[in-house]
Each structure stands twice: as structure tokens, then as C-alpha cells.
Amino acid sequence: MLALIDGDIIAFRCATSMTEDANEGLLRYRIDEMMDTILKETEATEFKVYLTGKGNFRYKIYPEYKAHRPKEKPLWVAEAKDYLTAVFNAEWAEGQEADDLLGINQTIDSIICSIDKDLLQVPGKHYNFVKKEFYRITEYESNYNFYKQCLMGDRTD
């Protein structure tokens, strides 16, 4: 089983758990623990980690995309992403988001590992590593979730 892992969520969660006086060793430990847990719980034999790169095409279409979200990134997020890249060979999604690559690369033999509800628009196996819940999204459910999101929107975006 191939685990497709949302590296943005791992970086953000581990970085926000750090204090200003913490050290990089603690950050690395937290990332290693989260990755180990995901791989054990999904019984993955291989994995790919994705991070959002620069130049998201959505801003060209709608400049106010994610305008309501906080602008400041957690203090340790850059170091977390660097570590995911160096140690776990994270792939950067240039011109798009990590979520896009998770969805594009989902197959019958993979599992999306994320807490992002938007990814429930992608059929297949899913694992929410915070709630420790597995889901199997059917084609019908993915379409339903997509159209529901189109009609309701997202307050955080």
C-alpha cells in the first residue's frame, strides 16, 4: 500500500507544537513520530510526502483565495518542511497545492493520509491521522462532497 501523505499538515502541526526556545531536535523527533505512526497504522509499504510549493494557480483565478486565513506561519514551519524534504524526500507541488498531488496520485493501491476535508472529494481510501479514522470514499460520495462544497463554500477560505 502506498501512503500519500499531506506534508503541509505534518509540518504545520509539528511546528505549532513548538515553543520559541525549543530546538530543532525536538521538531525532528515529532515529525519522525508522526510519520512512523502514519506508516504503521496504514501498513504502508511505501510512501510519498507532498508539500505546497510557490505560485498556486488559484490566486491567478481568484486573488482573494485564502484571504481570510492568518498570514503568519508558525515559527518552525520552514524547518519542518526542510526536514520533510531532506529526510522523507517530500515533493514540492509547484503552481498548486499538496492536496492537488494527493488527489492526482490516488489509485486503487494508495491511501490519502490527511485531515483536510476537501480531500474527501477524491474517491478511494483515506486515513485521518489525527482522529485515527479510516474512510473509503465511493465515486458517489466524492461527487456528493464536491457539489456540497461548491454550494456551501468554505468559511476559512
- The helix/strand/coil state of 126 is strand
Summarised one tens digit per residue, pLDDT across range 72-124 is: 677 899 999 999 999 999 999 888 889 989 999 999 999 999 999 889 999 99
For 55, how many CA atoms within 13 A lie in the half-sphere containing its CB? 4
| 41 within 8 A of 134, measured Cβ to Cβ | no
Alpha carbon distance 49, 88 (integer Å): 7
Q: Does the predicted model carry a pTM greater than 0.85?
A: yes
The mean pLDDT value for 41-70 works out to 75
C-alpha cell recorded at residue 104: 492526482
Helices within 92-138 (DSSP H only): 98-105
**Predicted pLDDT at 122:** 96
pLDDT band at residue 6 under the 50/70/90 scheme: very high
C-alpha cell recorded at residue 88: 522523507
